[in-house]
Each structure stands twice: as structure tokens, then as C-alpha cells.
């Protein structure tokens, strides 16, 4: 323990040091007799405790206390005096002294030191806690100012509600406006009130996380989307006593989601229109359908054509189907396989399928690759297929052929 002795008597100082050692302390000390000497000692090192005689020729305990106050030092300060009256003790205590000990009763030194050190340690802890609290409050205040969210705090016992300035600003209110929970609840969109109430009940009763999206009308009447989040506190009996949280503006995100949804719906509609246009089914006359195919014939498109054909054949009870592949540039093995699949499926419904328009290059490539289309009726062009359907009956026998084919 580093001890600073403000004492003009070397013998009294030695006596005090022996008392400290007998009490279990291991002091290192320095002795000063004047204000200048005390200031130099305080500048020279850090001390744990100060003992001071009450009255000395050139200095006093009250003067020593003033030196400590000049340096803003919170050190245990014990007055050791041969004779000190109650009024002087009171003045010293008001100046910041920790305790006093009479020189004819040095047995009180150890208890006085223990108590003084304990008091100073407690004051330091309290100051550290206050400093930590201040820093925490400053961080919170900075976070609140920097955040775009509004904050709220609802005392469920008193009904009192706090709304941050940012929250009121988000809803178009001035600082002195928007008081009470009812004022906020009344601005919730009627379509969201029950859902918001249910979310609050679930949190307070079943402790489900409170996180709900809802529409709220601003003071100016604009309906905007917000996300309300909160956390409650419960007492020992499990009764909710307080809930606090934040309010985030979701309007921009919600508008973007609505726009994206509309775009997706438009894309789906366009895809459906393209799908229908990619397999146009034309009834040339009773019982005869024709399907012109343009571009590539992959598995997905072949399935779309097949689905549309099966539905049309079943609905109209057709017996003849002409599949015109004049617009198919190349006829690979996969394309031929899809044609065979379509023809077989139509045959199961009792419809005869004729494939027309296979290009010479495609025919040559198919022969070279050994692709077998022998099970499919193929003709050169649509005219030949129409003539065959007309002459062969199959649902068209009672119908007159188009004038262009006679």
C-alpha cells in the first residue's frame, strides 16, 4: 500500500507506519510537511491513501484536502491528530475527509483504513458503472438518431406509451402529437387490425416473437406498409408488464414486390400466349385438323402440341390430323422421336396423323442417321394431305372439298 504522510513529526509518522504493519499492511511511504511538498509527491507517483496531521506549523489537514481537490483525486484521507474538536471534524468531513483517528487511540487506524479503502473502492465502482451507463445511453442515442426506424415503449401496467421522434416523423406527426396506444391503433388499416392484435396476443400470452407487417395511415392520410417488432417483459408471475420495439417502413419494398408480381403475371400471360401460338390448331373442315409447326421441336414444345391436339381431337371427335413441319429447319433424332410420340398418342384416340413438309435436307439427314419414320404417313405438302383426307373419308366424306382442291 502506497501511503502519503502529511506529517511534521517523524516519530508520529513512524508510529503510524508500525500500526499499519501490525494490522497486516505492507506500506511504502513518503512524508511531506508543506503544500508544495504534497503537490510534488502527488506528481511523482500514484498513492493509495493519505494520512494527515490536523495542524502543523506550515500546513494543515484542510489544506491537504484542498490540494487533493485541486488535482481531482479521490483518495482515502484520514486525519491523525492529538486533539480535534467536533466542529473541526465536521468541517474536515465536508471537505472530503474519510475518517479521523486520535493519536492516543491508534488502535482505530486499521478499522479506519479498511473502511476508507472500501468506501473509495465502492465510489470508484459506482463511477465506473455510471460512466458505462452514460456510454451505453450515448451509444443508444446515436443508434436511434442514425437508425431509420421508429421506437416505441408501452408500459402495460400504466398504459403509458413512448413514441420516438423518428416514429412520429415516419407517420407525419409533430413531436407533441400522437399520444397513447389508441391513437396509433386507430391508424392501422382495418384489414390488418385483427392480424396485428392476434400477433400481440400471441406474444404476450404464448411468447411467440412479435414481428408483424401491417398498413398504417399517416397523418396526411397516406397508407404505408410497416413492420412492427417488439419484445415484452414479464414479472415473476408470468404477467406481461412492458413491451418495447421498433417500427420499420416497408413501403418501398412492398411497392417493388407488387411491381415484380405484376411483371411476373404479365410474363406468365405472355408465355401462355406464346405457347398457344406455338401450336395453332386449325380445323380446315369437319373432322380434319391441321397444325403448322415452326422452328425447333423440342420435348417441351412437343408436349404442348400434344396436349393441345389431344384436347382438340377429343372435343371435336376428329379423325384426321395434319402435322405440317414445313417450317422445321432441321430434323434431328430427337425431333423425329417427338413426331412419333405425337402420332402414336393421336392413334390411341382413333385419329390418323399425316406428317407433311419434311424438307429434302432433313430427309437426307434422317436417312443418313438411320432414323425410321416408316410407321408415320408422310406427304410432300399440305395440299396432298388435304386431298387424301377429302378422298379417304375419315370424317370428311360428307363434306365438299374446298374449291381450291377440286
Segment 124-135, tens digit of pLDDT: 899 888 888 888
pLDDT tens-place string over residues 212-253: 999 999 999 999 999 999 999 999 999 999 999 999 989 988
Looking at residues 356-382, what average pLDDT do you find? 81
pTM for the whole structure: 0.43
Please report where in the chains the cell 413501403 appears, as a residue: 251
3 pLDDT exceeds 80?
yes
In the prediction, which pLDDT does 241 show? 93
DSSP 45: S
Alpha carbon distance 99, 396 (integer Å): 124
pLDDT tens-place string over residues 142-180: 666 666 788 899 999 999 999 988 899 999 999 888 888
The better pLDDT of the pair 72, 366 is held by: 72
In the prediction, which pLDDT does 398 show? 37
261 pLDDT exceeds 90?
no
Q: Which long-range contacts (CB under 8 A, 24 or more apart) does 246-253 make?
A: 246/147, 246/149, 246/150, 246/151, 246/152, 247/149, 247/150, 247/151, 247/152, 247/167, 247/170, 248/148, 248/149, 249/148, 249/170, 249/224, 249/225, 250/213, 250/225, 250/226, 251/224, 251/225, 251/226, 253/225
Average pLDDT, rounded, for the chain: 84
pLDDT tens-place string over residues 268-288: 776 665 555 556 788 887 888
For the record, the C-alpha cell of 294 comes out as 415452326
Looking at residues 107-115, what average pLDDT do you find? 89
Amino acid at each position: 500500500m502506497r501511503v502519503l504522510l502529511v506529517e511534521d513529526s517523524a516519530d508520529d509518522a513512524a508510529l503510524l507506519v508500525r500500526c499499519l504493519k501490525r494490522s497486516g499492511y505492507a506500506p511504502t511511504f513518503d512524508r511531506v510537511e508543506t503544500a508544495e511538498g504534497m503537490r510534488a509527491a502527488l506528481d511523482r507517483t500514484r498513492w493509495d491513501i493519505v494520512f494527515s496531521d490536523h495542524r502543523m506549523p506550515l500546513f494543515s489537514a484542510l489544506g491537504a484536502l484542498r490540494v487533493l481537490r485541486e488535482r481531482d483525486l479521490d483518495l482515502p484521507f484520514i486525519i491523525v491528530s492529538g486533539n480535534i474538536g467536533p466542529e473541526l471534524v465536521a468541517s474536515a468531513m465536508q471537505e472530503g475527509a474519510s475518517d479521523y483517528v486520535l493519536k492516543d487511540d491508534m488502535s482505530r487506524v486499521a478499522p479506519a483504513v479498511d473502511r476508507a479503502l472500501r468506501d473509495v473502492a465502492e465510489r470508484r465502482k459506482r463511477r465506473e458503472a455510471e460512466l458505462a451507463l452514460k456510454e451505453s445511453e450515448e451509444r443508444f442515442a446515436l443508434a436511434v438518431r442514425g437508425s431509420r426506424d421508429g421506437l416505441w415503449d408501452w408500459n402495460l401496467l400504466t398504459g403509458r406509451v413512448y413514441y420516438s421522434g423518428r416514429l412520429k416523423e415516419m407517420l407525419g406527426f409533430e413531436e407533441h402529437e400522437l399520444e397513447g396506444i389508441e391513437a396509433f391503433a386507430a391508424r392501422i388499416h382495418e384489414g390488418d387490425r385483427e392480424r396485428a392484435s392476434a400477433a400481440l396476443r400471441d406474444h404476450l400470452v404464448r411468447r411467440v416473437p412479435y414481428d408483424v407487417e401491417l398498413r398504417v395511415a399517416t397523418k396526411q392520410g397516406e397508407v404505408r406498409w410497416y413492420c412492427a417488432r417488439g419484445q415484452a417483459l414479464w414479472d415473476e408471475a408470468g404477467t406481461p408488464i412492458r413491451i418495447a420495439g421498433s417500427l420499420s417502413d416497408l413501403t418501398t419494398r412492398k411497392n417493388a414486390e407488387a411491381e415484380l408480381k405484376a411483371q411476373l403475371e404479365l410474363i406468365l400471360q405472355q408465355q401462355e400466349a406464346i405457347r398457344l401460338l406455338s401450336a395453332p390448331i386449325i380445323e380446315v373442315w369437319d373432322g380434319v385438323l391441321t397444325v403448322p409447326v415452326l422452328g425447333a421441336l423440342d420435348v417441351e414444345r412437343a408436349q404442348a402440341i400434344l396436349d393441345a391436339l389431344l384436347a382438340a381431337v377429343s372435343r371435336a371427335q376428329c379423325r384426321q390430323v395434319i402435322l405440317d413441319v414445313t417450317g422445321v429447319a432441321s430434323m434431328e433424332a430427337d425431333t423425329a422421336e417427338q413426331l412419333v410420340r405425337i402420332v402414336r398418342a393421336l392413334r390411341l384416340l382413333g385419329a390418323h396423323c399425316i406428317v407433311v413438309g419434311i424438307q429434302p435436307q432433313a430427309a437426307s439427314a434422317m436417312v443418313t442417321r438411320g432414323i425410321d419414320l416408316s410407321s408415320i404417313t408422310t406427304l410432300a405438302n399440305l395440299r396432298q394431305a388435304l386431298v387424301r383426307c377429302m378422298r379417304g373419308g375419315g370424317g370428311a366424306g360428307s363434306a365438299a372439298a374446298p374449291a381450291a382442291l377440286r
